[in-house]
Amino acid sequence: MHELSIAAAVVESAQDTARRHGVSSVEAVRLRVGELSGVVADALRFSFEVVTEGTVLAGAELVVEDVPARARCTACALEFAPGTPPRLWCPECGEGATELVAGRELEIVDVTLPLAGASCRGGSAPQGERREGVA
């Protein structure tokens, strides 16, 4: 299950971000995961929960933004959804020379850190602030 190693790399990167900003917790991490990346989102979420235990990301939310696959025909420039498994010939002109333009992404979009000096009172958590986009 390679999602475990992906989750560990995401946690390491987010911990580095928290350290650079001098904060001791992370509220959320947002990822873009392409349809053709080979990553199973549910397995990634489970792995994230496992690897965040005992870290500054314990309890942090993992937001996974699914990116649909898109291909473009190099002959007629039509953009189309190649499907899964991908069909990479153009549905318009039948040309087999196409390029994938979206769907292989696996990237950290941003890490949400708590506001500096904010505290939790009365059972309500302070609003987070996006402090840094990490890609």
- pLDDT tens string 71-125: 999 999 999 999 888 888 999 999 988 899 999 999 999 999 997 533 223 322 3
Arithmetic mean of pLDDT, 17-30? 94
Encoded tokens for 133: 């986009």
**Whole-prediction pTM:** 0.77
The answer on pLDDT for 131 being more than 70 is: no
Neighbour order of strands in the sheet with 128-132: 61-67, 28-34, 106-114, 128-132
Packing angle, helices 41-52 and 3-20, rounded to 10: 50
Q: Quickly tell me which residue has 């995401």 as its tokens.
A: 10
